[in-house]
Chains A and B, each alone.
Chain A
């Protein structure tokens, strides 16, 4: 294998795999941070570090890297790159060099994030970076700003690329109504990235301007306002959760349709109602992150209602997912286990968002472990399961080889048990005791000690499951049995080429007929 051909590649599949490698490495690092945090929290008082700042830096790195270095790049970088051109029958993306630029900017962003562990004054501003703390801390806030800026910029240029690709490079005969649900999800995610990332970029730039260049955006003593930052930040970061959600639910759609050997139930409802609805509403709900910061009532009531109304498009998506099982011929290979796991765990995570959306209930729940439990279920668990399931699903396509089915299932079940131990307990102590998040120590909440100890054990269990999956991929890619071009028997276009596909994907571009659809099983 020629290393130069990989590093300087402009091919969408190799760019995608570079994204995968980078984001899984980021997941490993941020996961290790999680284990360190869990170890620290396993008992009251200092356990593995006596310095709260050390813990705060772990937490900062964990949150920022998991979201910006793992999930968004894995979903809008790896899956979008690997699958979208193959699914629409294109030879490559519209701007292959721009694509290569975006993956290397992503690596630069990750390198910056990793510098956290090597500089004397690491950032300790949490992934939200609220001023005034972020502008007065002795930590290196610039590192935070620059990491976010560069990762955001990488994502924007990827977005322009994919919107152009899907608009102009579909195979002959492949109309908008025949796109894979996953492709629609990517379109929705990138539209949101394009609109909202610039706002995040501005927000983090402003804190660095305030801290290092003497401006006063957030300094009340000079006429600035501390809450501006929070509004700008969440104006992006709420939509960002749907930038994560849409692609991951898109992956789950592909897996479930394939293993149930059924077309997606009520495709149009899922695409126009579900995905369209989410993109439409996502921009006017950010205030639900500021319910306890004294926002005025007139802003609050509208956004509470629209936050609750998100359950309508999301509900349509869930109905389509579950409906796809109806009269199916379901089999349970590892990707399908992960996908079904997502359905159940996302239900828990999504529904526990409902109390948070209600402005009066949040008064007791906000900033507690209940919130941490909510978003780990919906993002860290459902999202990560979808990513792992998707990698298993396209593994034979990417590598031409098969992973080990038994170990795949073992890994899944271990993680499944682990996540529920950890994150259910979080929601419980958050709602019942009110244990606040971002606490290095919790002496004022002795009732939480047992639960914390249990969660530490659970975290080790779930980590073992993830490591099994990683090893399964590495071993499978190196010496798994040959998989064939279409091991799952899916009619979707990516399975019509050889595994792994060559540069250009098909010897000559495919064209599809009237009866074809990516979900027309058994009609070939």
Chain B
């Protein structure tokens, strides 16, 4: 049968001169790294075999890190880096994860709890969270300013404000860690009661996002110091950071001050 026709047009070129099939080993490597992690989780927590778990981790983590590194170097400059549009969808998915944790919280608190907070809860600090909020908001402003300088072509200024952002983010994490150690010291842990569960899992989930954001920044900082600044990358990275900031408002208002 014919492959053309009037309604569908093709440029002319023989059918046999097709390119070689595209391949990449890295997705395969990363996937099986993930399998090793899953196995490690089960070895540790289900079968209580820490030694075997460590071996599985030792297999999985290098596979994932190596896979990501190989992937990045292979894909570099082929337009497969972080993409702004895809980040939008990704953030939607992330927001749904936070929503699930909050929904769990609202269910316990509004639908079943007779007294809240449940027995065993210690008073939470009231001032520190405010400081943390200020720090995180400041970091959102500084990355915004850095991005502004980047668009204006001021590379040194960009790097300077980027470093400030990273420092602010690290400060936030430090304060969070300080607060956690104190609460745990006072005997309030993730296993104390349902509120402890919510408190540590929600702040922990948020904190892990701060860590990821910082990791992205640091990963980009190295090339940026050498003058290699990709606008698309930074636009996407700062979008993610703003998202992390906005989520924090929910965390603060729901967990500390309600």
Contacts and interface: CB of A to CB of B under 8 A. Distances in A.
A199 B23 contact: no
B93 A504 contact: no
Interface residues of A, number: 88
Contacts, number: 226
A210 B3 CA distance: 58
A212 interface: yes
B30 A515 contact: no
B4 A496 contact: yes
Which of A98, A108, A225 neighbours the largest number of chain B CB atoms within 10 Å of its CB? A225
Contacts of A159: 89
A164 B28 CA distance: 22
Nearest to A8: B23
Interface stretch (B107-115, B133-141, B156-164, B225-233): B107-115
A513 B24 contact: no
Given A11-B21, A104-B31, A140 B46 contact: yes
Contacts of A206: 104
A14 B24 CA distance: 13
Nearest to A10: B22
B5 interface: yes
Given A10-B23, A97-B26, A224-B108, A198 B7 contact: no
A104 B191 CA distance: 36
B6 A164 contact: no
B137 to A, nearest CB: 26
Which of B17, B42, B90, B111 neighbours the largest number of chain A CB atoms within 10 Å of its CB? B42
Contacts of A486: 1, 3
Interface string B5-42: 11111111111011111111111101110110010011
A100 B201 contact: no
| Main SS at interface, chain B | helix
Give the contact-size bracket for chain B: 35 or more
Given A10-B22, A507-B18, A508-B12, A156 B93 contact: yes
Contacts of B111: 225, 227
A143 B45 CA distance: 11
Contacts of B196: 216
A222 B193 contact: yes
A215 interface: yes
Interface string B83-106: 101100110111011011101100
Contacts of A487: 1
A502 B35 contact: no
Given A95-B80, A108-B35, A523-B7, A5 B28 contact: no
A284 interface: no
B27 A97 contact: yes
A470 to B, nearest CB: 26
A212 B45 contact: yes
Given A100-B24, A108-B31, A203-B100, A209 B83 contact: no
B223 interface: no
Interface string A498-509: 100011101111
Interface string B108-147: 1001110011100000000000000000000000000000
A186 to B, nearest CB: 15
B190 interface: yes
Given A105-B34, A225-B111, A215 B197 contact: yes
Given A160-B86, A507-B17, A142 B193 contact: no
Interface in A482-524: 484-487, 489, 491, 493, 496-498, 502-504, 506-513, 515-516, 520, 523-524
A190 to B, nearest CB: 9
Nearest to B42: A142
B94 A5 contact: no
B75 interface: yes
B190 A214 contact: yes
Nearest to A101: B27
Interface of B: 1, 3-15, 17-28, 30-32, 34-35, 38, 41-42, 45-46, 71, 74-75, 80, 83, 85-86, 89-90, 92-94, 96-97, 99-101, 103-104, 107-108, 111-113, 116-118, 190-191, 193-198, 201
Given A504-B18, A507-B14, 4 more contacts: A9-B21, A146-B41, A195-B93, A198-B93
21 contacts: A9-B21, A10-B27, A100-B24, A101-B31, A108-B32, A112-B35, A203-B100, A209-B201, A215-B191, A222-B193, A227-B107, A231-B103, A232-B104, A489-B1, A503-B18, A507-B10, A507-B15, A507-B18, A508-B13, A513-B9, A523-B7
5 interchain residue pairs of minimum CB distance: A223-B194, A508-B11, A104-B31, A516-B7, A202-B100
Interface of A: 4-5, 7-11, 14, 92, 95-98, 100-101, 103-105, 107-108, 111-112, 121, 140, 142-143, 146, 150, 156, 159-160, 163-164, 167, 194-199, 201-203, 206, 208-209, 212-217, 219-220, 222-225, 227-228, 231-232, 484-487, 489, 491, 493, 496-498, 502-504, 506-513, 515-516, 520, 523-524
